[in-house]
Each structure stands twice: as structure tokens, then as C-alpha cells.
Structure 1
């Protein structure tokens, strides 16, 4: 079945693996987990724009209230907005009804703790233990007079924006001075309103909105990767804007498109933001094992250290806290700025990127006045690497460990890391093979100095997996 259960929550195909019984089981477990710490827990709930989201939210919300939990419903909002709302409401936890980048037939429950962060491995283990105990999950609800209450608050998009505008690194007057024009593709997701609002308040001169209606369905596969952005890239060039901004359905990932329609690259979202932050303040940087070497090169330039965690936001955050990192994230376009909160946030990523680009444009005009300071030229200021990605779908009986062990035996003498699947280093690059936390697949990421080299490595290991 397609139900995926991980440290951050569960996701599945609605009506196939994400059924009413599954929703009841895990929402009850989450409520009982919180009730072990508070008699009447306060839970913040938000969701993305999927057609199934409203019904699923109503279902789990009714479960919470019957178990005596009080609800703060903040509507269709990005995942990081829920995180900030939990902090501001002093809530005991939160749930986001979103399957993130997965196709529209999927949905999910993301569990957040009282810090507004994904639950820790220990917390998730407790939730799942409760879920498997039918004595707990099938217990009757509270008496009618002990039902929880629900309040609706529709102001958290603006709250999120104001928190970003007040960051010391963000100066909207500098961005405004560049008269930037942008195209925004929010795939009709939870970023449809907040990304344009943020750009306006950051001083962006003109905005072209593409798929920014949260009441419509996704117009394409929602994962913001090259193969899904062909039309968006052509529209960036067609409208003659300075850059394109693309987010996934729950707006925790962001990638940028250059004025000529080429991708700045989701990997380079973190690279550019980290370079900017490290130019202003010293500290460590954290990414995951599937991220580009370009971040290491940039950090070395600033005399900073890069630490790499297992893939997954919770893993990145744990290592960021341990190393007191000033910025971190994942190569998929997830930017984490601890100064705002410990979570991937497309909005703060957009603000940092626009600030970095605006300051570079000003400096570039002063040093090379006869050159147009475009985003494609900005991209060339960073080390050049290319990443290729592939997926291998799994059958129910696939023994992933034995497959990876078989591949490891063919790479004798190479530098290998086994903390998260299998990462193998070559003279010209690396490959990372691991089972996905969000889909029943093995992901293959490879990096090389050229696109051809990266694709060659991916194809080589696709063949090895198929043998």
C-alpha cells in the first residue's frame, strides 16, 4: 500500500491508503500524545489547497474536539506559517494537512510539537505506539460538556510576512531600489496569496501571477523540479521579468528561474541564501547528504563549516541546533533560518534571495556598469555543479538493504557513507541512493561538474538497481 509513515507524519493516496480509519487512528494517537502533557491541549491546524484537505481537516478536527482538544484553525496556509502560529499561540502542537510536493491524489498529516517544529523521533515513536494500541485509539470520546472549542484566525499570513520584514538581514528599501519584476508560480497551493503579498511588501516593482488561485486544482505535477517547470520557464522569458519564483503546494520549498528561462536550480536556492547570510554573520551551515558540493565551496570561502545530516527536515534541524548553525536547509529548496524559526520556509528563502540578488545588482552596477546584472549572471558567481535525479519504484517485497549492499560491493575502495542509504564519492562527483520518506521509491541523486556527467552516473546506478 502507499501509506508512508515517517518521523514527520504520515501520507498516502486518499481513498486507497489514507482512509477514514487511518485518519481516526493517527489523529486520536496525536491527541492522546498531547493530552499526556496537558488536560486540554491547544492544537493549531492549517492545510494546503488540495480538494481533499477541507474534508480531512474537518474529520480530524472533530476527533480532536471530541477528545477535549481546543483548536485554532488558521485556514489555507503554508506549513511554516503553522509553525509560527504554534509559537505565537503557545499551543501544545499542530497539524498541517498537506502532502507537500506529492501529486494531487495524495494527502497527509504533518505533526508539529509545541516548538512549532516537526516532532522528534522520540515523540513520533510515542504517537505511533499509541496508534497501534487499539485500547487507546478506540476509546470513547469525552462527554458533550468536555468537548473542545474551535476558533478561526485568518491573520497569520500577514503575521508571517511581518516577522520576515523585521529580520535584521532584510532591507526592503534596497530591494525596492532595483525595480525588480517577478513571475510567481504557486501551483495554486498554499503559497498563492502569501508569496505575492510578501513580494509586494518587499518592494518588488511588478508581479506576474501564474497559478496563484488556491481554489483551483494543481495545473501540473506540483514538485518544483525541472521536468515540471518547462511551461513556467518559458513564461518567465515570455513576460520579460527579472526572475521567476516557484513554490511547492505547502510553500516550504522554493526555486528560482532566470530571466532567460533557465533554472537557477533548487539546489542553488540554499547556496545563494547561505552565501548571503555568511557574508553578514559567522557561523556553521547544515545541509543533508543529498545536497550540492557548491554549499561546501561557498562556506569555505567564508571560513565556515558545513555539516551534513540524513535527509529530512527534522534531521537537519537537530544538527543545526547541535552545531549552532546560522542557516541550513535541504537541496530541494528548503531554507531554514533559525532567526525566524527552525523549519523550511519558502517565504524567508524568497526574502533572503531577493535581498542577496538586489545587493549583488548594486555592487555589479558599480564594478561593471556596462553589463546588465541579470539573474543568470548572478548564478555564474557560484561554483558550477550539476545534479541529476531519478526514482526507482519499489515492489512490496523489495529488500532495499540487500540491494544497496549489492551495489556497495561493486564500489570497493571508494569513499562511502552509510548513515542514510548509500552515498558514494568519486573523483568527479558523487551518487546518493536512499529510500524515500514520502513515496514508495528509491531516490537516486548524482552530482558532477557537468550535466552529462551527473546524468551518466544516475543511469549507471539505475541499471545496477535493476539487475
Structure 2
């Protein structure tokens, strides 16, 4: 994969030539740019770093830490750490920022530098643009020998994160412990193998771990989608466990499986959590435009407002802050609870799901059956590099002029029984097409009707 630079960080495959992949030169130049931006912004010259289980992690971490030190920034190393663990540790240490060394759901040959601000949140578009400008100019002033940054380790980062979850006002620790829950976890050979069992031990939950060797040799495609979860689904068919859980390599996405191998899925993770949170803490709910309508249905059930943001965690967080959301996230299983921190977090997601099960007296399959049924499809349409997408969107909107349209991020049409969302890809000459309806056939029908206008 060519090196991809965006406002939130830098991603690519390990090896190859500089400028085309994520090579040592690319890591050093971009981390130095981040360090220079941090100092220019006046933030405290301290950065928290952590990594997932990828084989390239030790090398990428060493290059990252040494580069930050070389621009005069102190480094606090959490080593193996989930993305949300690094995020909460930025504020714990009152650091100026953080860097997460993880390519999320991408295969093992990938790695990435995910960049945080002093709030432990992904940096803004303006900050990202300025950072890339500094990195591209290459005019970095490195520290003298007496000004080099220090390197310390934080061996208690995970425990700190777990303690935050246990102290969350909506996590009913006593009720969970009293139930004696059993779960099956697919840790996909990454840091979930450390984090989720640690949380379970604290809650007296029995955790059986599949793919628990923390070696980054992912046993399957690491994105927590049904087609990749055959091992977990089969184990849940045989097991008497109350819940199956799948996380991605950096543990910011959470997918659920019910007893008997019932796929609950990523889209219904946020719905399940929102159902529990709104029962106790009324307030607006936010998800992105490509997330399931079921989240809006849950908000309506509790008489609360629903708001849709542009796709991307930074956009969801901005909308949550704007409307004072009680809960939010993304349909990919990313739970954002503002009472903990503004970042997708599978630990708080799991704790809230278990609290819901413990206090409702219902199993996860029963909860899923109580929510509306929707089916989602994801398609794409190839276009030429000079394709006039703006005009195409106008054409689509005119064709469906009687359908409410949202143009915050591409074009989303809200039909009475479903929706279609069109977005330009940031990396390929394609238009991404997402559609949802009560059945797959209806979702496909809606998508094809809209795509015909492209």
C-alpha cells in the first residue's frame, strides 16, 4: 500500500522505498513533523506512545521514541496498549499529545502512526494540515545534546484504564459480579488478549480467549466482520457462554455474538449500549451518517434527539461535544462514552453491555430481538479521475427530490424505509455506496436506483 497521509496520521505497509511505503525514513520525517508541530502549538513537550501486537511494532516504536527525543520531547512508553488506553493516559500524564502505533483492522504488513492532541483525542483537520505542511517542508530543528527528550515507561497504563471503567457511574460492578458471566473473546493475536481479560478478571467474568497469542500473526482477517469470525461463531455454537466478543487489533471496535452463534454484529453494539445508557442518562445520541438507523430508533424510543455527523471519529466527537451527547460512536462497533473519554473504547463498551445484561435480566439474543431489524450493504462504483462528482450528486438529489437529503458528508438520502449514502473515496477513484433497509433485497434496490443516476 502506498504511504497514506491524512489529518489523523500516517499509514502504509512496512518495507520498500521511502515515500511509497511506511519506511524508517517516512516514520522519522513524519514523527519529527509531529514533534515540531507540538512545540509550535505551545503544548507540553511530552508524548505518550503505545503499540498493538504487530511484528513491526518494536521497530516502529523505537524509531518513533528516538525521533521524539531528538526534537526535545519527553516520551512516556506504554508499550503494548490499546488505542483507548493511550488516549486516557495522555490526560493522565498531562502530556501534550500521543501517538498510537497501530494500523487498526489492516493486515499485519501494515502499521500506522495515529496522532493525538493534549486531550487524548485525534488531532483536528487544521492541526493535521499544519503538521503535514511542517513535515513536507523538512525544516526541522533538532535538539542539542543537553536538550534531548527523556524516555520513561508506564507499566500501569492498562490497570489505570481498567480502573477508570470500573469507576464509571453506569458500570454496575456489583450486578455483573453477581451474575458470574462467561464470555468467549477473539483477541485476534493483539493487545485485546491483554486488555479484555484484565477487565473481565476485575468484574469476575470468566473469559475464554481465542487467538490469544500476542504475536501480531493475525489468525484471520482482523476486521471484526461476520465473514472473519467463523471461529468465534462456531465456538459460541458449542459453548454455554453468555456472550461472544470480537475486537480489532487496537481494541477500539467491538462486535458481539450471542449464544448459539447468533451474530449480533458491530452495528448493533452501539444500539445495545445506547439502550442501556439512555435508560439511566437521558441526552442526545450521535453516530455517523453511514451507521445503522437502529441507533436513531433507540434514541426516539427514549424521546431523545439523534444527530448524524460526517464519517470519521474526529467528526463524531465534534458533533457529540456540540450537542452534549449522552452517548455516541460509529456503526463499526466504536463506542464513545463522554463520561469516560472522547474516543472509541471497547473496554467501556463491553462493561456497559455486561451492565445492561446484568440489570435487565435479558440475554444478548433477547435484547437484539427487541430492536428493529435492518440489513446493510456496502458497494462502490468506479469513476474516472476527472469525474464531476459534485454534478452527479446534484443529479441524484434532483432525481429523488421528494426524499430528504443530507449533504454534510457526500450525499445521504433518507427514504421512508431505508437510506443510501454516497461518499467519494479518499484513496481511490470510486464512489462508496452504503445502503440500509429492512431486507437485503430492499437495500440493494435502493442502492441500484441511486447508482443508476451516477
Q: Same fold (TM over 0.5)?
A: yes
Q: Which residue of 2 aligns with 1:451?
A: 440
Measured against aligned partners, the alpha-carbon deviations of 1:234-293 in whole angstroms (never above 9, x if no partner) come to: 111122322101111111110100112121121111111111111001211111111111
Question: Aligned partners of 2:346 and 2:58: how far apart in 1?
Answer: 23
Q: Helix, strand or coil: the match of 2:263?
A: coil
Deviates more, 1:17-26 or 1:328-337: 17-26
Structure 2 contact 48–95 (Cα < 8 Å) conserved: yes
How many Å separate the matches in 2 of 1:391 and 1:53? 33
Residues 43 and 96 in structure 2, CA contact (< 8 A), matched pair in contact too: no
* Distance in structure 1 (CA, Å) of the matches to 2:30 and 2:265: 36
Q: 5+ unaligned residues in a row in structure 1: which ranges? A: 362-372
Q: How does 1:9-28 map to 2 (within 5 A)?
A: 9-15=9-15, 16-28=20-32
Summarize deviations over 1:130-171 as a string: whole Å, max 9, x none. 12223x14x5x2222221110011211111001100111112
TM-score, normalised with respect to structure 2: 0.92
Which residue matches 1:430?
Answer: 419
Aligned to 1:369: none
1:111-130 residue CA offsets vs partner (Å, 9 max, x unmatched)? 10011111112211221121
Aligned to 1:257: 257
- The structure-2 alpha-carbon separation of the partners of 1:212 and 1:437, relative to structure 1 and needing over 3 Å to count, comes to farther
Whether the 8 Å CA contact 2:108–2:216 is kept in 1: the answer is no
1:83 aligns with 2:87: yes
In 2: Cα distance, 1:215 partner to 1:145 partner = 37
Aligned to 1:318: 318
Matched, 1:389 2:366: no
Contact 1:431–1:445 (CA under 8 A) maintained in structure 2: yes
CA contact (8 A) 1:244 1:257 kept: yes
Go from structure 1 to structure 2 and tell me whether the alpha carbon gap of 1:38 and 1:176 turns closer, same or farther (over 3 Å shift).
Answer: same
Task: Identify the residue that residue 292 of structure 2 maps to in structure 1.
Answer: 292
Q: For the structure 1 residues 112 and 39, does the alpha-carbon distance in structure 2 shift closer, same or farther, using more than 3 Å as the test?
A: closer
Structure 1 partner of 2:271: 271
Cα distance in 2 between the residues matched to 1:68 and 1:202: 41
| Deviation string, structure 1 residues 27-61 (Cα, Å, up to 9, x no partner) | 11100011124497101011111111221111121
| Cα-to-partner distance string for 1:367-405 (whole Å, 9 max, x where unaligned) | xxxxxx432122111122222224567887776556655
**1:130 aligned partner:** 134
The equivalences for 1:20-419 within 5 A come to: 20-38=24-42, 41-134=45-138, 136-137=139-140, 139=141, 141-204=142-205, 206-361=206-361, 373-390=362-379, 401=390, 404=393, 407-408=396-397, 410-419=399-408
Report SS of the residue matched to 1:193.
Answer: helix
- Give the whole-Å Cα distance in 2 for the aligned partners of 1:225 and 1:252: 14
Give me the whole-angstrom Cα distance separating, in 2, the residues matched to 1:18 and 1:398.
30
Normalised by the length of structure 1, the TM-score is 0.90
- More deviation in 259-268 or 80-89? 259-268
| C-alpha deviation, 1:12, in angstroms | 1.8
Preserved contact between residue 428 and residue 448 of structure 1 (Cα < 8 Å): yes
Paired positions, count? 450
- How far the C-alpha of 1:21 sits from its partner, in A, is 2.9
Q: Which region of structure 1 is more displaced relative to structure 2, 337-346 or 387-396? A: 387-396
Distance 1:230 1:407 in 2: 38
* More deviation, 104-113/21-30: 21-30
* Contact preservation (8 Å) 1:67, 1:142: yes
Distance 1:193 1:433 in 2: 38
8 Å Cα contact 1:2/1:439 also seen in 2:
no
Pairwise CA RMSD of aligned residues?
2.3
